[in-house]
Amino acid sequence: SVRKPKRPVYAFAREMHPKTEKADIQYGTAGFRTKANKLGYVMYRMGLLAVLRARYKNATIGVMITASHNPEADNGVKLVDPHGEMLEQSWEAWATKFANVGDDQLESIIAEIIKEYNIPMTERVHICIGKDTRPSSPSLSKSVMDGVLALAGKPIDFGIVSTPQLHYFVACKNTKHAYGIPTEEGYYHKLVGAFLKLNADQRLNSSAGNSNYRNRLLYDGANGVGAKKIKQFQERLGETLKIELYNDEGIGTGKLNYLCGADFVKSNQKFPNGVPLQHNVRCCSVDGDADRIVYYFIDEDDKFHLLDGDRIATLIAAYLKELLEETGIDLNLGLIQTAYANGASTEYITQKLKVPVACVSTGVKHLHHKALEYEIGVYFEANGHGTVVFQKTAKDKLKRATGDSSLTDAQRNAAERLLNLIDVINETVGDAISDMLLVETILRAKGWDVQDWEAAYTDLPNRLMKVTIANRNVITTTNAETICVTPPGLQDEINALISKFKKGRSFVRPSGTEDIVRVYAEAATREEADTLAVEVSRKVYEMAGGIGNPPEV
């Protein structure tokens, strides 16, 4: 039943969302991302594509309007697939095509995709739409809705929500509420309910006895949606976890992610603005759409200590392994990282925890995909973006164990605890607040504060830098981004630089969310890591067409 798309698609585009940019735009690490004023027509077209994808999958699809960690003037769009995961990669090429054709070619590209996938055009489908707090988001969301309506889909507007909340709503809708209730209330209820269950027995003695855990946390909301939504948790968590919120400036003040937030803290390895300096107190920062989180503290000598995504991953993997051992159930557990993972964390995970590690390219879509190969897959990027996914077989085994009378009480309790942990976790995608609840649960269970957590291993000093070049696409990479293929000769130069440093490691890759090249370096000492990063950055600048000022220490 392939019907010709209706002419209104073009009329809508021509009159309300005409293509304004000549240069092509590409679906990057997490969708399209650029200056907000260049995105109106792209949003409209993603509304169209979302309806086509929904009809093809016969499922609800999500569209999230956000530029996450980027500056406030940027915006972007990510499509969410039926299980709440990122858009399947084979459709990214379609997204790019849709974004770049002329207005008068829209009808024909729609006809092309309908034909290619034999998409039934009669189904009534729902598209969940969410947006972050950027001032440009309401109008861009309206553009998405026009696209949805032009192809007779039904938009469901969730208003301002975090990215992981939108992913959760999509998963709930497509599982007929088995995953949870697809409302904000349903989300808070699920996460907080599980958290309170897990922490109930220790609620009274958490700050006493021989536990180092303190139920007080300073929270940097990056002046974004993470600041708004944490208030819902503050109310519901009460005394169990006392969250003090900082960086909750109003919408449109220009402060989003500015000198604060997870990306600022991780990239600069610095304490954010707006959070009071208190020695040895646990702090965390989320990013602009609350899908990433990092922890940190300042010690009594005013030294900054970062506990990033690698630390969170190791904490979680170690705890899951411990609990699994208590249940006596054999489930295969794996951990996924990217090249940004600190060498010391990888060594700790493989050698001390004896958990297998896989390394994939940057982008949650790659990590998530790989994690699904394990019965329990923990994945985290060093920047704090990650979660845990559990196969149905794993959940079933745990459920069976809770009612198995041949097991000991201890075994059954451990299985019960694991099932509750699954409910605290947002399995669809990295979720800063869900990750925070998980970390807090584990720290409390272990009687740890950040200092105990940090003692597990010592990070190798590392440095992240950005280099601006005329065209970042001249840099291409292979081997999970660890080897630079073009421009020719650059990798040899990088290798030569690395060989001068003890424990030296460095790689370069074009960012898929910002118009820059990222450089990562680590080495045995702080000074060496800094020097290696600067030297590699200079090579990139020289050999790949650097613009502006050359990189400096």
Q: Which residues make up the interface to ligand G16 (CB under 6 A)?
A: 29-30, 68-69, 287, 291-292, 362-364, 381, 383, 385, 511-514, 518
Of 381 and 449, nearer to ligand G16 (C-beta) is 381
Q: Which residue is listed with tokens 């925890």?
A: 353
Q: Least Å distance between CB 122 and ligand G16?
A: 35
DSSP secondary structure string, 467-531? E-BS-GGG-EEETTTTEEEESTTHHHHHHHHHTTSTT-EEEEEE-SSSSSEEEEEE-SSHHHHHH
- The closest of 202, 414, 421 to 323, measured between CA atoms, is 414
Q: Is 68 a catalytic residue?
A: yes
Q: Least Å distance between CB 287 and ligand G16?
A: 5
CA angle in degrees (0–180, nearest 5) for 312-248-283: 30
Of 310 and 375, nearer to ligand G16 (C-beta) is 310
Q: Least Å distance between CB 381 and ligand G16?
A: 5
Report d(CA 499, CA 26) in Å as an integer. Answer: 35
3-class DSSP assignment, residue 335: strand
Of 215 and 477, nearer to ligand G16 (C-beta) is 477
534: enclosing H helix or E strand: helix 526-543
3-class DSSP assignment, residue 3: coil
Of 99 and 341, nearer to ligand G16 (C-beta) is 341
Locate 539 and state its tokens. 């090579």
Compute how many other C-beta atoms are within 10 angstroms of the C-beta atom of residue 338.
26
Q: Least Å distance between CB 69 and ligand G16?
A: 4
Of 33 and 55, nearer to ligand G16 (C-beta) is 33
Report d(CA 182, CA 424) in Å as an integer. Answer: 16
Query: Residue by residue, what is the 3-state secondary structure of 148-170?
Result: HHHCCCEEEEEEECCHHHHHHHH
Counting other chains too, the contacts that 481-487 makes at CB distance below 8 Å and 24 or more residues apart are: 481/338, 481/339, 481/361, 481/362, 481/507, 481/509, 482/339, 482/359, 482/507, 483/507, 484/508, 484/509, 487/543, 487/544
Q: Least Å distance between CB 397 and ligand G16?
A: 30
Of 445 and 519, nearer to ligand G16 (C-beta) is 519
Catalytic residue among 1, 68, 143, 162: 68
Of 287 and 449, nearer to ligand G16 (C-beta) is 287
Q: Least Å distance between CB 285 and ligand G16?
A: 12
Q: Least Å distance between CB 515 and ligand G16?
A: 10
Report d(CA 228, CA 117) in Å as an integer. Answer: 41
Locate 522 and state its tokens. 């680590």
Q: Which residue is listed with tokens 């309300």?
A: 16
Locate 28 and state its tokens. 């990057």
Report d(CA 433, CA 390) in Å as an integer. Answer: 19
Of 206 and 361, nearer to ligand G16 (C-beta) is 361
- The closest of 58, 21, 71, 59 to 43, measured between CA atoms, is 21
Q: Least Å distance between CB 337 and ligand G16?
A: 12
Q: Which residues are catalytic?
A: 68
